[in-house]
A and B are shown apart, each in its own frame.
Chain A
Amino acid sequence: MARRIFIAIIVLVAAGLLGWFVFSTNTHSSRYAVKLGLDLAGGTELVYNIDTSKVTSDVGGALSSLQEVIDRRVNLFGVAEPLVQVEYANPASGQTQNRLLIDLPGVTNLQAATTAIGQTPTLDFKLQATTTTVAATPVTVNGKTTLEINPASSTPQYTDTGLTGAYLKSASLQFSNGSGSTVSNSPVVIVNFNDAGAALFQKITSENVGRTLGIFLDGQLIESPVIQEAIPGGTAQISGHFTPAQARSLVENLNYGALPVPIALASSNTVGPTLGTAALHAGLVAGVIGFLMVALFMIIWYRVPGVVATIALVIYLIVTVAVIKIVPITLTASGIAGLIISLGIAVDANVLIFERMKEELQSGKAPHEAAHIGFGRAWPAIRDGHLTMFVSGLILFWLGTSIVQGFALVFSIGVLTSLLSAVFISRLFLFAILPEKPSSLWRFLTGSGMHF
């Protein structure tokens, strides 16, 4: 008896600490704040179909490099905690195509997002303007007009040459031999133009010896070499002080043109921040009120076991939320639905046990013994019910669409925790407080409903 009370106190303290963890980590800055789905937090979800029909050999490699490229672009777009994942085709679940899922929390400008993600890296060769064409604006000060050099022209102006990445045949990575201005063994990107590009490149270089040719990647100047002589053959060397990794990814990007495999927007879902916040708030209020009503009912109907069940349910909630926070699982509206149903299942497990206990009490057994038999009798039903629901949840998670998966994951975890709460925690507390000997007071306290 004393040992049971001791263990019960330890469990209570542990649950209290876990509860403190759950409540103290709700601020946005916390690592363990609940990750809310886009439907609750606001943001944009994009689903792209991936066209792998033209990939003959390494489909997996193409998909993972696609993911890398998109990852980089999304990061450039400046989103906090984006999610980029490839959803592989699975004939068993009826999904015929590989898909790319992109979650952009907080982003509501759909057009800007799709442009940033769908854009192809651009390579431009531009000539630096000669000093005579430096932009200058006439400024009139005190009736005297002076020609003032435009502040913007302190950074050199460039004019398009018409030579772009579209003329590219291939790109490759080499390591410099140390000639010219390059440091020995630094990575350089070799760009090979196609015939038209080679002709254009030769024309540009022959006509502009001594001028600076700017090489732009995605609109940003990465190198500005001075043309020493006309370059035939259609090969350019870019040595923009890359790290080997940067140079390699540039070569990949250039070679794949844009993306390793073409993608097409299949669906998009944008939820504004107001709708999400309102939904979350209403969900929390409903959850708290619903829980209080359930607890009240349990305590009024089942008395002392009802109080025990309520404590077990609070611990159940704390553990479930802690798991959601630590894993972490992204909570969506359907996930909240899963939580509510699994709460109902957890209540049911307790109800089953107490009803069985009541039958034993009515047959004149002492509370302690009645509880013991009650747990034993309720176990097969609890086991079969929980096992069926848990495996159903796993099947849904495996085969379901993302909204179904959100439900299935929380539901499965909830069912597991429910088993823990009913079988371990309720049992522990009941045995810790129930006396060994029957008495009329305890008969009332452990009775239920209309029986006095």
Chain B
Amino acid sequence: MFIIRFRTFFFWLTGLILVASVASIFIFGLPLSIDFTGGSLVEVSYTNPRPDLATITKDLAPLNLGPVSLLDSGANNVTLRSRTLTPVEHAEVVTALSEQGTAPLTELQFNSIGPSLGSELATKSLYALLAVVAFIVLYIAWAFRSVPKPVPGWGYGIVVVVMLAIDLIVPTGFYAALCHYTGAQVDSLFVVAILALLGYCVNDVIVIFDRIRENLTKNDHARVQEEFTTTVGRSIDETMTRSINTALTVALALLALIFLGPAATKDFALVMLVGVVIGTFSSVCRSAPLLIPLADYFAKKEHEEKSGSKKSGKSKK
């Protein structure tokens, strides 16, 4: 009953983390990658130590590429970002990067996206995300439709969405800070991480809500009078070991991905790890502070209705 006893504390702790995350998003901003803005990215690996970035900038100047960002990465890699390049311009850029062939290099990747396609990808990702969230509310509302009082099924649906919003805002805030300090950008892979988190967190919340549903039904059948607060607290305690163990196993897999996995999915795994920790914390510590006020609200409303009917006529007992 630890969580229930200190639910005011967890409520404010959640608020604090949320404010910090939102602040991080607004202060650092979310730098969109060429996946969403359109543009080109060229990554090359030099066979010998890479030339000075200033030298490369000078070599690129005659190509008239507009604003170009050069980043050194890895041992001898250079990443160039610019406006959308045509295949011909791309060939010229690679020649310039190799200093007209004097600095041998291998091209690791070239990615070029037209501006209209980029903004369309962003819209598409957003639509997909909204569609999934809408489905989740409806499904939870339906699956919890016959839960005994005080909270109706759609109440659970709304709480789940509020929790999911928090679960996704926090890692996003973390990523904004990460982008600020490492030069990472919001790309399609970040969207995938957020989607994967969505899947994980929904499952996590459902497990706890399922236990609340089960305990409420059990009480209802046995005609046991139990405070809603107590039922919620008991359900959270009963599912605690499971929540922690599951988070731990997923965290183990993600840690392997962070330390041993491909460079491309490192940031992905880091965002996921933050999200899994927050998601578990969220379902364990936030479901109660969010559900109980809702229960109070419905109990009060019902009480008012009853007393209203009492006034109008004779009640049963």
Q: Which residues of A contact B (CB under 8 A)?
A: 39, 47, 49, 92-96, 108, 110-111, 114-115, 265-272, 274-275, 278-280, 282-283, 285-287, 289-291, 293-294, 297-298, 301, 333-334, 336-338, 340-341, 343-345, 347-348, 351-352, 355, 359, 377, 380-381, 384-389, 391-393, 395-396, 399-401, 403-404, 407-408, 411, 449
CB <8 Å contact, A403 and B188: yes
CB <8 Å contact, B107 and A272: yes
Q: Within residues 226 to 284 of chain B, which ones have a CB less than 8 A from any CB in chain A?
A: 238-239, 241-242, 245-246, 248-250, 252-257, 259-265, 268, 272
Q: Which of B91, B108, B196, B263 contacts A337 (CB 8 A)?
A: B196
What is the minimal beta-carbon distance from B18 to any residue of chain A, in angstroms? Answer: 24
What is the minimal beta-carbon distance from A10 to any residue of chain B, in angstroms? Answer: 29
Contacts of B110 in A (CB 8 A): 110, 268-270
Q: Which of A114, A293, A343, A399 contacts B124 (CB 8 A)?
A: A399
CB <8 Å contact, A344 and B250: yes
CB <8 Å contact, B124 and A348: no
Contacts of A298 in B (CB 8 A): 249
CB <8 Å contact, A399 and B202: no
What is the minimal beta-carbon distance from B135 to any residue of chain A, in angstroms? Answer: 6
Contacts of A286 in B (CB 8 A): 256-257, 259-262
CB <8 Å contact, B112 and A269: yes
* Interface SS majority for chain A: helix
Annotate B178-215 by CB proximity to A: 1 below 8 A, 0 otherwise: 00000000001101110110111011001100110110
What is the minimal beta-carbon distance from A42 to any residue of chain B, in angstroms? Answer: 9
Contacts of B120 in A (CB 8 A): 94-96
A285 to B59, CA, bound (A): 39
Q: Which residue of B lies closest to A380 (CB)?
A: B210
* Interface SS majority for chain B: helix
B136 within 8 A of A: yes
Contacts of A301 in B (CB 8 A): 245
CB <8 Å contact, A337 and B265: yes
B111 within 8 A of A: yes
B109 within 8 A of A: yes
Contacts of B250 in A (CB 8 A): 341, 344, 347-348
What is the minimal beta-carbon distance from A37 to any residue of chain B, in angstroms? Answer: 12
Contacts of A384 in B (CB 8 A): 139-140, 143, 206, 210
- Given the known interface contacts A341-B196, A392-B132, the answer about A297 and B117 at a Cβ–Cβ threshold of 8 Å is no
Contacts of B245 in A (CB 8 A): 297, 301, 351, 355
A388 to B204, CA, bound (A): 11
Contacts of B261 in A (CB 8 A): 282-283, 285-286
Contacts of B249 in A (CB 8 A): 294, 297-298, 344, 347-348, 351
